[in-house]
A and B are shown apart, each in its own frame.
Chain A
Amino acid sequence: MSLPRPRNDRAAGSGSGIDLVQAERWGAFLAGGSLTLFGLTRRSLPGLGLAAAGGGLIARALLRTSGTAPASGTGVAVARSVTVNRPIAELYAYWRDLRNLPRIMDHLESVTLDDDRRSHWVAKAPLGTKVEWDAEIAEDRTNELISWRSIAGAEIPNRGSVRFDAAPVGRGSEVTVTLAYDPPAGAVGTAVAKLLGEEPDQQVREDLRRFKAVMEAGEAPTVDGQPSGRED
């Protein structure tokens, strides 16, 4: 799973020659991988222990959610918070209209509503392909929480939630997003991994950063399309 994000210039560091970003996580990931392989090739109890330790490192490299446990055993789960300098009601209303999500979630192409609870999601995948699924609102508590999940039969079962909490006085609202995917084995699983990028955690962070900028400043900052002395 080593793949470029779909739109480079928005991603931190990518395409800009500054990879301050990924070395540490990759270090843990690679170390975890080699431990796991080494452990599995030993075919012994200590070997299994090594494999487990390696798996743990991989999980930490993937998840690194500040202590937040993944929602289930096998998939990828991330949770991230951001403070937004706007009232909760405004943030809740924006998010409750799921059609707004592609504006802040880079990997989404569109979300269309079937009715008040059901929606159809289209996500960008590598090489110009797409992944689509139907989802439903699982829980909706006005100004508190929205959660959604894919409907049975989706290629890639996934679910997510957003929670809104008041920050201390004068500091706006705290928004916490969780996303979880259960990628199946095989080609589709690989596609999901690509979809999520190398760092699902970083992707959610960027999504939240964009959400905050759109809510506070009315637009997300960009340098895509500005002049330079480069041919790009």
Chain B
Amino acid sequence: MKAVCWRGPNNVQVETVPDPQILNPRDAVVKITSTAICGSDLHLYDGYIPALRGGDILGHEFMGEIVETGAEVKNLAVGDRVVVPFTIACGRCFFCERQLWSLCDNSNPHAAAAEKLYGFSGSGLFGYSQIYGGYAGGQAEYARVPFADVGPTKVPHGLTDEQVLFLTDVFPTGYMAVESAGIQPGDTVAVWGCGAVGLFAIVSAYLLGAERVIAIDRVPERLAMARDRAKAETIDYEETDDVVEALKQMTGGRGPDVCVDAVGLEAHGTSFTAKLDRVKHAARLTTDRPYALREAIQACRKGGVVSIPGVYGGFLDKIPFGAAFAKGLTFKMGQTHVHRYIGPLMERVQAAEVDPSFVITHSVPLDKAPEMYRTFREKEDGCIKVVLKP
């Protein structure tokens, strides 16, 4: 089959590789009909996530048709059309039983490596480095799906791939960011980053009853989409002296109730610390550039919630923890518990409360993946979300 393989920083190739096989009784194999490039794939592309091996197959947002099932998979049949959570979870451990699916104890075959790095291991993820299990990803014609009896979710008739593909990651990720923050009616939510996760955080905040959402970015097309399609007020941080002060003034001096960092470890910024971050990052002296996170902490109202769907991988410098403590902030973060949200959000899509396809700016054949990684990384051509068609 054809698959998108990582060959090193800034280098992905479409290569011919063997087809996947059933390896465990709870596996299934999916013939992929649509797959997307995620903003977090750019962290791999840029070389900021350790422990990829040349030849690893990328991709964790994919859907398709079941073509084979293992002996223990009773709830799916060949021909079923499914969306597949990017987190791999067994469904039976302490964490899965408590709906903390992305913390599954039993799905990472390289758990010991993750333990060396983080003390404990979370769940395996598709196509996201050896540390998260080394699972072959879904930017390919076929993928093997472990624990297929609890992960893949059938797609109701009448919904297109484009409407349901983002239930695999970015829609639940944006949704969990605001849902876990306990949005109350009347709340103002500020969202840093208007990529797909940020856009879905905005949409979800309104679904959950937020009064106002203010989005912060610098890319004109993204600000426009946040404003026109997701109905957020926007701040262009390159045109604003002091984002924290702007947010304070926009909220009558209180600050936003919930601040969402949908940027993660490769943030850009204009301040001195942001530039220092970039220099240290370029020299590999620090792993993460937490510029958006710093602002979110400083901007958040007293007693508010800072929610972090953006990915971090290592150590962070100059986090204003004193401000966080003084204001009594709550932090919510982590990989998304996709299994928890995929069903309820599918119902919202079916009920036409939301059509997630609005974020798609590019839909191209799988062969175009290498150039689309570049276009997406450079944010050229208005690129916000790329769908690949195997």
A binding-site residues for B, Cβ under 8 Å: 9-13, 16-18, 20-21, 83, 85, 171-172, 202, 205-206, 209, 212-213, 216-230
Closest to A230 in B: B55
- B325 located at the interface, meaning its Cβ lies under 8 Å from any Cβ of chain A in the complex: no
Residues 134-172 of B, flagged 1 when their CB comes within 8 A of A and 0 if not, give 111000100010110000000000000000000000000
- Identify whether the interface residues of A are mostly helix, strand, loop, or mixed: loop
Q: Are A16 and B110 in contact, CB atoms less than 8 angstroms apart?
A: yes
**Cα A220 to Cα B386 with chains together (Å):** 34
Residues of chain A within 8 A (CB-CB) of B17 are: 227-229
**Cα A73 to Cα B115 with chains together (Å):** 30
Residues of chain B within 8 A (CB-CB) of A20 are: 50-51, 113, 116-117
**Cα A18 to Cα B57 with chains together (Å):** 17
- Which of B90-98, B259-267, B346-354 faces chain A? B90-98
- Which of B21-29, B206-214, B222-230, B289-297 faces chain A? B21-29
13 A-B residue pairings within 8 Å (CB atoms): A17-B130, A20-B51, A21-B112, A83-B94, A216-B93, A219-B26, A220-B24, A223-B134, A224-B23, A227-B18, A228-B56, A229-B13, A229-B54
Q: Are B23 and A222 in contact, CB atoms less than 8 angstroms apart?
A: yes
- Which of B60-68, B74-82, B100-108 faces chain A? B100-108
* Most chain B beta carbons < 10 A, residue from A172, A202, A205, A219: A219
**Cα A224 to Cα B72 with chains together (Å):** 19
Residues of chain B within 8 A (CB-CB) of A11 are: 112
Residues of chain B within 8 A (CB-CB) of A221 are: 24, 88, 106-109, 124, 133, 146
Q: Are B113 and A12 in contact, CB atoms less than 8 angstroms apart?
A: yes
Q: Are B106 and A217 in contact, CB atoms less than 8 angstroms apart?
A: yes
Q: Are A226 and B20 in contact, CB atoms less than 8 angstroms apart?
A: yes
Q: Are B112 and A226 in contact, CB atoms less than 8 angstroms apart?
A: no
Q: Are A17 and B24 in contact, CB atoms less than 8 angstroms apart?
A: no
Q: Are A18 and B51 in contact, CB atoms less than 8 angstroms apart?
A: yes
CB proximity of B73 to chain A, nearest CB, Å: 11
Q: Are B55 and A172 in contact, CB atoms less than 8 angstroms apart?
A: no
Q: How many cross-chain pairs have Cβ atoms below 8 Å apart between A and B?
A: 134
* Most chain B beta carbons < 10 A, residue from A9, A20, A205: A20
- B369 located at the interface, meaning its Cβ lies under 8 Å from any Cβ of chain A in the complex: no
Closest to B57 in A: A228
**Cα A230 to Cα B5 with chains together (Å):** 9
CB proximity of A36 to chain B, nearest CB, Å: 27
Q: Are B23 and A226 in contact, CB atoms less than 8 angstroms apart?
A: yes
CB proximity of A16 to chain B, nearest CB, Å: 4
Closest to A213 in B: B106
Q: Are B93 and A18 in contact, CB atoms less than 8 angstroms apart?
A: no
Q: Are B112 and A228 in contact, CB atoms less than 8 angstroms apart?
A: no
Query: What size tier do the contact residues of chain B reach?
Result: 35 or more
**Cα A202 to Cα B54 with chains together (Å):** 26
- B238 located at the interface, meaning its Cβ lies under 8 Å from any Cβ of chain A in the complex: no
Q: Are A219 and B25 in contact, CB atoms less than 8 angstroms apart?
A: yes
Q: Are B113 and A13 in contact, CB atoms less than 8 angstroms apart?
A: yes
Q: Are B72 and A209 in contact, CB atoms less than 8 angstroms apart?
A: no
Closest 4 CB pairs of A and B: A12-B112, A229-B55, A229-B5, A217-B90
CB proximity of B373 to chain A, nearest CB, Å: 15
Residue from the list A16, A18, A171, A213 in contact with B94, Cβ < 8 A = A171
Residues of chain B within 8 A (CB-CB) of A227 are: 1, 3, 17-20, 57, 136, 140
CB proximity of B218 to chain A, nearest CB, Å: 35
- B254 located at the interface, meaning its Cβ lies under 8 Å from any Cβ of chain A in the complex: no
Closest to A199 in B: B112
- B379 located at the interface, meaning its Cβ lies under 8 Å from any Cβ of chain A in the complex: no
Known: A223-B134, A228-B57. A13 touches B116 (CB 8 A): yes
Residues of chain A within 8 A (CB-CB) of B247 are: none
CB proximity of B133 to chain A, nearest CB, Å: 7
Known: A18-B131, A223-B133, A230-B55. A213 touches B90 (CB 8 A): yes
CB proximity of A222 to chain B, nearest CB, Å: 5
**Cα A148 to Cα B165 with chains together (Å):** 53
Residues of chain B within 8 A (CB-CB) of A12 are: 110-113, 115-116
Q: Are A206 and B112 in contact, CB atoms less than 8 angstroms apart?
A: yes
Q: Are A172 and B136 in contact, CB atoms less than 8 angstroms apart?
A: no
* Most chain B beta carbons < 10 A, residue from A212, A217, A230: A217
Closest to B144 in A: A226
Residues of chain B within 8 A (CB-CB) of A13 are: 110, 112-113, 116, 130
Residues of chain B within 8 A (CB-CB) of A224 are: 23
Q: Are A225 and B19 in contact, CB atoms less than 8 angstroms apart?
A: no
- B53 located at the interface, meaning its Cβ lies under 8 Å from any Cβ of chain A in the complex: yes
* Most chain A beta carbons < 10 A, residue from B56, B106, B131: B106
Residue from the list B20, B93, B134, B136 in contact with A217, Cβ < 8 A = B93
